[in-house]
Amino acid sequence: MDDVDVKQAAPTSVKEIIGMFTGFMAAYGWYMLFGFVALVYFRDAIEDQIEAYKRAQRKKTDEPDYDEKVRQNMKSIRAKQQELHEQKVQEAAELRKLREEEARESKIDEYDRTLGNGQGFVLGDGTPKPKPKPKSKKSHVSAANGT
């Protein structure tokens, strides 16, 4: 009985597969046809470009000095980058030095302006303030004892 079930199941599954294929072709057949025609049309141009690219890559890698050229190129690029970095650092240091010099000059100018002509630097209105009298410790202790 098992043999009969398998034989009957096979034709229905084949029919289902054929039905799915014809349904797919009915829905997307024109798209597939146009895609295939475009692929055939553009294949030659694309294939030539791909082959030229592959040849150029093989030629580069087969060249005996290729690795050395790449190393030298990278070394020169690194040297240029380092040079640029050092130049920027030097410019920043010069700018910082210039700003410090300007700040120092402005402090000197302010000092000359405030202390110039033999006058001293005066805080407040210039009148001397009386010094507060210190409190004696004895009076504080005697007040606590009650005497």
pLDDT in tens, 83-132: 999 999 999 999 999 999 999 999 888 887 777 655 555 555 656 666 77
Let me know if residue 48 belongs to a domain.
Answer: yes
Counted domains in the chain: 1
Let me know if residue 69 belongs to a domain.
Answer: no
Let me know if residue 31 belongs to a domain.
Answer: yes
Let me know if residue 140 belongs to a domain.
Answer: no
- pTM for the model stands at 0.36
Let me know if residue 83 belongs to a domain.
Answer: no
d(CA 61, CA 70) in angstroms, rounded, equals 11
Number of other residues whose CB lies within 10 A of the CB of residue 30: 10
Q: Sign of dihedral through CA atoms 43, 45, 48, 51?
A: negative
Percent of the chain with pLDDT over 90: 33
Look at 5-19, 55-69, 98-112 and tell me which has the smallest mean pLDDT: 5-19
Report yes or no: 106 and 112 within 8 Å, Cβ to Cβ: no
Let me know if residue 37 belongs to a domain.
Answer: yes
Q: Which residue has the tokens 């407040």?
A: 124
Mean pLDDT over the full length of the chain: 81
Q: Domain limits at 30?
A: 14-62
Let me know if residue 44 belongs to a domain.
Answer: yes
Let me know if residue 87 belongs to a domain.
Answer: no
